[in-house]
Amino acid sequence: MGDLQRGTALVTGASSGIGAAVAAALAGQGWRVICAARRVDKLATLARTIGQGAVAIALDVSDAGSVGSLAERLPDGWREVDLLVNNAGHDVGGRRRFDRGSIEDWATTVQTNAIGMMRVTHALLPGMVERGRGHIVNIGSIAALDVQPGGAAYVTSKFAVNGFSQALRADFKGKGVRVTQILPGLVRTEFAETRWAGDTARAEEFYGKFPVVLDAADVARAVVYAAEQPPHVTIAELVVVTSA
Ligand SMILES: NC(=O)c1ccc[n+]([C@@H]2O[C@H](COP(=O)([O-])OP(=O)(O)OC[C@H]3O[C@@H](n4cnc5c(N)ncnc54)[C@H](OP(=O)(O)O)[C@@H]3O)[C@@H](O)[C@H]2O)c1
């Protein structure tokens, strides 16, 4: 862990992929990290690996009750969140033409990626506003800039992340709360496996089609970069793609 005490960060979707990498990278720079997701066993393992600088908390961003009780469930001494990384998200049932997919899958994707992000932000913003400082980093996607077929729900959710990030930045301009959106290209994580309901072979085949894909750590570096700017600097947006 670094020598500096940077503050307290909460990372949603920290049980895997980009979220786990962000939690580890922030902890490595001296942040205290609250690792949040539904799979608490994975969070506990991550928090143990990080050590004293991390705690795990169960959070379903699509569940109003889970998000509503978040602040009171945070351990003593961990309630003042300085940095929120809204990362939880999925593309369950995705890569299908809209009419051929399940409306329940589409709705869940938007509920998680867009409404979940808004719920968690709404729960943690009052503390930031009261303290006059805070930073919200939303993990969007290149899907909001480069629309591909078969992505109706996912693209909708990431357009929402894009719009929400811009609108929130406008709301809090000059008020001490910074808002950043990170828009990654293709990252090798559990994302494709979750999209295809645990079909690892299909996920492997999918990633194998690309000459190069990003690692979760590549995105984590972008989050750390945005988080560590001096207070008068806001990294509004960062698009992270492969060089090939
Ligand atoms: N992989 C890519 O190519 C890529 C590219 C651009 C953007 N992104 C974005 O990056 C973010 C992270 O994805 P990833 O690639 O790291 O995928 P991942 O490895 O599948 O991780 C997704 C994370 O989201 C969490 N999550 C899903 N639903 C949740 C819910 N209802 N409540 C709380 N946590 C939830 C999962 O945890 P639990 O299942 O334990 O709850 C998991 O930790 C997503 O927003 C995704 O859209 C990914």
Residue 108: partners with Cβ closer than 8 Å, 6 or more residues away: 62, 90, 92
**Which atom of ligand 1 is nearest the CA belonging to 40?**
40
Closest residue by CA, ligand 1 atom 42: 13
pLDDT for res 27? 98
- Write down the residue that tokens 């509004």 correspond to: 236
What predicted TM-score, i.e. pTM, was given to this entire model? 0.98
**Which atom of ligand 1 is nearest the CA belonging to 21?**
16
For 7-240, CATH gives 3.40.50.720
Q: Stretch 128-138: mean pLDDT, rounded?
A: 98
**Which atom of ligand 1 is nearest the CA belonging to 39?**
40
| Ligand 1 centroid to residue 18 C-alpha, Å | 7
The domain segmentation of the chain, as residue ranges, is 7-240
Question: Which protein residues are within 6 Å of ligand 1, measured from CB?
Answer: 12-13, 15-19, 37-39, 59-62, 87-90, 112-113, 116, 139, 141, 184, 186-187, 189-191, 194, 216
Strand order across the 83-86 sheet: 54-58, 31-37, 7-12, 83-86, 134-139, 177-184, 237-240
Closest residue by CA, ligand 1 atom 44: 89
Is residue 108 very low, low, confident or very high in pLDDT (cuts 50, 70, 90)?
very high
Is residue 5 very low, low, confident or very high in pLDDT (cuts 50, 70, 90)?
low
154 is known as an active-site residue: yes
CA atoms within 13 A on the CB side of 110: 12
pLDDT for res 3? 45
Q: What is the mean pLDDT of the chain?
A: 97
Q: Stretch 50-63: mean pLDDT, rounded?
A: 97
In the set 31, 106, 154, 164, the catalytic residue is 154
% of the chain beyond a pLDDT of 70: 98
Closest residue by CA, ligand 1 atom 1: 187
Question: Ligand 1 test: best mutation among 11, 22, 38, most atoms within 8 Å of CB?
Answer: 38
Q: Stretch 120-142: mean pLDDT, rounded?
A: 98
| Ligand 1 centroid to residue 3 C-alpha, Å | 30
Condensed to tens digits (0 to 9), the pLDDT of residues 76-91 reads 999 999 999 999 999 9
Q: What is the DSSP string of 89-100?
A: ---TT-SS-GGG
166: helix, strand or coil: helix
Closest residue by CA, ligand 1 atom 41: 38
Q: Stretch 208-224: mean pLDDT, rounded?
A: 98
pLDDT for res 9? 98
| Ligand 1 centroid to residue 87 C-alpha, Å | 6
Residue 143: partners with Cβ closer than 8 Å, 6 or more residues away: 151, 154, 155, 158
